[in-house]
Copies of this chain bind each other. A is one copy, B any other.
Amino acid sequence: MGLLLRNLKQRAILCEEDQQAVLDLPVVIKALSANDYVIREGEDVDCCEVLVSGFAFRQLLTGDGQRQILAIHIPGDALDFQNLFLDVADHSVQMLTAGPVAFVPRAAIQRLFHKRSRFAQAVFINVLVDAAIFREWVLNLGRRDARSRMAHIICEFMLRCEMMQFNDPDNRDLPMTQEQLADATGLSAVHANRVLRDLASENLIQPHRGHISIPDWRKLRAIADFNERYLHLSQQTLSNDI
């Protein structure tokens, strides 16, 4: 649970005992394949998952089966704090790429939540930041055009990866197909393709097969109308420094 601990320590100051309690959490690591479900809408929740490596995404479906991607998750992210005290999952989480996922019994996390209030605070902040990201996506879908939306989602991904300082260069590519990007931006696959071509023609992104690499995400910022306030990174580094 080193990754989870690293995540939580960015959010609150944990004492030695708190930290040990997190490291002592019972955990089973499972290797999942791309597109495997981590959580399925409508199912009862009895585990909390942490993404060890690879990428994952949240999704919700309309009644007639259209998909909307709600969030993209990177290694170290907790995938299921959203359901820590909700009994039925209201949305699904699926793997974007193959990768190991740590499964922790929900009851163990709940116990820690009640016993160690600093841990509770760290988990709480984690959920608050997730909520802030959802809000930014509402703005993105509601008030930005296709080009900005696409750029915004790419910027967010890049910045979050950068903050986690992944060593592996594979972890700097966005491993999404154009169809998935369309479902994240609320566009049709055809239009997503055209937007991506435009961005590529300006050298703002470099699409490969099922991957997108970004030479310099900072160039995308202006197009994306990107302002990282909603990620609350300053608070993160602040806590780190202490």
Among B42, B84, B123, B138, which residue has its beta carbon within 8 angstroms of that of A60? B138
Chain A residues bordering chain B, tally (CB within 8 A): 57
Task: List CB contacts (< 8 Å) of A53-95 with chain B.
Answer: 58, 60-64, 66-68, 70, 82-88, 90-91
Instruction: Verify if A136 is at the interface (C-beta below 8 Å from B).
Output: yes
A90 to chain B, nearest CB (A): 5
B225 touches A62 (CB 8 A): yes
Question: How many of these chains are in the complex?
Answer: 2
Partner of A142, one of B84, B115, B121, B141: B141
Closest to A117 in B: B114
- Interface with B: A24-32, A127-135, A191-199, which one? A127-135
Grouping DSSP codes into helix (H, G, I), strand (E, B) and loop, the A interface class, with mixed when no group exceeds half, is: helix
Interface residues of A (CB under 8 A from B): 12, 42, 58, 60-64, 66-68, 70, 82-88, 90-91, 113-115, 117-118, 120-121, 123-125, 127-132, 134-139, 141-144, 183, 185-186, 225, 227, 229-230, 232, 234-235
